[in-house]
Copies of this chain bind each other. A is one copy, B any other.
Amino acid sequence: MKTYLECIPCFFKQALEAAKLAGADEKMQKKILNDLARALPKFPLSSSPPEMGRTIYGLVKKITKKEDPYLKIKRKSNTLSMNIYPRLKNKISCSGDRLLRALELAIAGNIIDYGVKNSLNVDGELKRILDEEERTIKKEDKKNFNYHGFKESLKDAKSILYLADNAGEVAFDRVLIEEIKRLDMNKEIIYAVKEKPIINDALTADAVRCGINKVAKIVSSGLDAPGTVLRFCSKKFLKIYKDVDMVISKGQGNFEALSMPGRPVFFLFMAKCPVVAKSVKCNVGDIILLYRKR
């Protein structure tokens, strides 16, 4: 997805919130906003928002000298999510269509995102997810919730690359991966996390904390951007990305970064901002399962 002009005020908002969270004083906060302002005229709208996100959070890191300002938040999200993991499993056991339920829950878990909302009440959001009734996917939703296509692709896929999004959310990804494995134990699943801290995006430690290592192989994308910007990925990752039978991309950041994925990709995310919602033609808050051929 290209950057829309409406994203620009939001870049400044994100920079300010990240600066505060990293403990910057007012002077430092202003310096971060000033440096972002200086970078803006050089930033082409043809780049995706996560590319600017990389600049923003890079500035916050550089100026505050905090390597991983979201570390505590990520740890807390992992713990809270793993606490409800047994209940997620139970919800799936009681469901009429286990795979569909796991997909819905995996997307619902995408709410644990500090890029959009800084003062997130993870505990409250998790409770809300657990309280939600199983929904029926309506016919008219098909365009933005391509469950049929997903199932068909899954049937034939021997190798699957799963692009992670946020810490905590990983527990929800695990539930989905376990359902996929339940259908076919022999599927090879590779779970890609970020290389360096960026917002609350999942790193290897978060994946391990949520037990992904028990169900998939964890790899790093080589990235320090809040979305899979292919030109910043490692060669090793790009080979996997090209070679696997199926790619499942989690979260809005990965969707924004991979609008021209170069290969078929299934995007699972919650539409969290009006710009993305407009581009997908959905409402903010909708859960999306989108298929892009290339």
Interface 1/0 per residue, A1-13 and B, CB below 8 Å: 0000110111011
Instruction: Give this chain's copy count.
Output: 2
Instruction: Report the interface size class on chain A.
Output: 10 to 19
Contact of A40 with B by CB under 8 A: yes
Which one of A26-34, A175-183, A223-231, A274-282 contacts B?
Answer: A26-34
B38 A41 Cβ-Cβ under 8 A: yes
| A84 at the B interface (CB under 8 A) | no
Q: How far is the CA of A38 from the CA of B35 in the complex (A)?
A: 10
Q: Is the CB of B5 within 8 A of A30?
A: yes
A5 contact from B10, B29, B38, B40, Cβ within 8 A: B29
Select one of B6, B9, B26, B33 contacting A40, CB under 8 A. B33
A33 cross-chain contacts in B, Cβ below 8 A:
5, 8, 40
A154: CB under 8 A from chain B? no
CB-CB contacts below 8 Å: A132-183 with B: none
| Chain B residues, CB < 8 A from A34 | 40-41
Q: Are A30 and B9 in contact (CB under 8 A)?
A: no
Give which listed residue, B5, B13, B30, B40, contacts A16 with CB less than 8 A: B5
